[in-house]
Amino acid sequence: MSQNPSPRQIVQQQLPKQAQPGPQASAFAPSNIALCKYWGKRDKALNLPINPSLSVSLGQLGSRTELSPIDGAEDRVILNGEVQSLEGGFAAKVVSFLDLFRQPGSPRLQVDTHNNIPTAAGLASSASGFAALMLAVDKLYNFGLSPEQLSAFARLGSGSASRSIFEGFVEWQMGVRDDGMDSHARPLAQSWPNFRIGLLTLTSAAKSVGSRAGMQRTVDTAHLYQSWPLQAAADLERIHQAIEQQDFELLGATAEQNALSMHATMIASWPPLLYWQPESVAAMQQVWALREQGLPLYFTMDAGPNLKLLFQGQDQQAVLKAFPSLQVVAPFEAA
């Protein structure tokens, strides 16, 4: 891995020379929920995945980012109206990401990001955040990058940001190249108008282990992780088939087993990594009970305690009756 080019080298050799920032640029990118999860990296510096993944973007839910050059020696990062410390966390990652694209001496930037995602629902804001940032950078410097480049570069900020560049169903192909330029997402042609996602917020307790660290612990310590790439490959095939045939039960069952298998690899890690809360188990049991009663209702979960329900438009009332606080997203319907 040490012989691989650095992220900055990879980016710089694809940018036009001497790009100067315009006065301002703004872009939006949607959040996305993976039906076949990204879990495990083959290259940590470049966020290259061990398996391909497939997601659905959340339409109007996501991040809007505005960039503008500023005077001074430091960038200025504002998240949901609050100026962030550059010492760590989100702002430090944003500055590192901007540095991939800048020449020394290029002006510092103000990054003003607003997420309209319910933070407590555990939706990864880094995916939409870095995708929106990438789109805004491309506009600000007028780089004219291709969709594939935008996706591959967004990946350098956060793996799943590669998928948030696009709308609808999106596949992130894992790629084989050392520089990762073939590890980018692409949108699928298919639409599914009555597909629904329900965001179920069970708890807003902060995660004790972030998903980046959790992913690494799983890869390093869970014997069962060795079977994960095989599972993901099989699930990806099935999800493609389900989308092709608009077979909702195949889609739901595959996505649910995929998510539970990902959590299984965490549970099999050491120290054990259990993102579930007691409320998570109760909600799963409720979904299974409703399904036993004939309701085609499935769920997926990311590295957190909350469930994302998967169902069809014709069942929305029944699902809302069981989960009154559910926030429903129709990813394929215009707002």
- Write out the residues near a second copy by the rule CB under 8 A: 222-228, 230-231, 234, 253, 256-257, 260-261, 263-265, 267-268, 270-272, 274, 276-282, 284-285, 288
Amino acid at 260: L
Nearer to a second copy, 102 or 217 (CB): 217
User: Within 117-210, where are the H helices?
Assistant: 125-141, 147-157
List Cβ<8 Å contacts ≥24 apart for 93-100: 93/126, 93/157, 93/158, 94/133, 94/157, 97/130, 97/133, 97/156, 97/157, 98/133, 98/137, 99/8, 100/7, 100/8, 100/11, 100/12, 100/153, 100/156
Residue written as tokens 């559910």? Answer: 326
Nearer to a second copy, 120 or 260 (CB): 260
Rounded CA-CA distance 222/217 in Å is 8
Alpha-carbon distance of 32 to 186, in angstroms, equals 13
Determine whether 275 is exposed, middle or buried from the number of CB atoms within 10 Å of its CB (0-12, 13-18, 19+): buried
Q: Which is nearer to a second copy, 197 or 222 (CB)?
A: 222
**What's the min distance (Å) between Cβ of 56 and a second copy?**
21
CA distance 265 to 51: 14
User: Rounded to the nearest whole angstrom, what is the least distance from the CB of residue 250 to a second copy in the complex?
Assistant: 12
**To the nearest whole angstrom, how small is the minimum distance from the Cβ of residue 239 to a second copy?**
14
Nearer to a second copy, 195 or 298 (CB): 298
Please tell me what DSSP assigns to residue 334.
-
H or E stretch at 52: none
User: What's the CA gap between 55 and 61, in Å, rounded?
Assistant: 14
Minimum CB separation from a second copy for residue 279, in Å? 7
Q: How far is the CB of 267 from a second copy (least distance, A)?
A: 5
Question: Interhelix angle for 228-245 vs 248-267, to 10°?
Answer: 160
Query: In this complex, which beta carbon is closest to a second copy, that of residue 34 or of residue 185?
Result: 34
Q: Which is nearer to a second copy, 82 or 292 (CB)?
A: 292
Shortest spacing between CB 170 and a second copy, in angstroms: 23
**Smallest gap, in angstroms, from Cβ of residue 86 to a second copy?**
31
Output the smallest distance, CB 16 to a second copy, in A.
Answer: 45
Nearest CB to a second copy, comparing residues 143 and 299: 299
Looking at residue 269, its amino acid is: S
Cα 317 versus chain centre, distance: 28
Closest CA to 56 of 143, 167, 156, 139: 167
When the beta carbons of 131 and 215 are compared against a second copy, the nearer one is 215
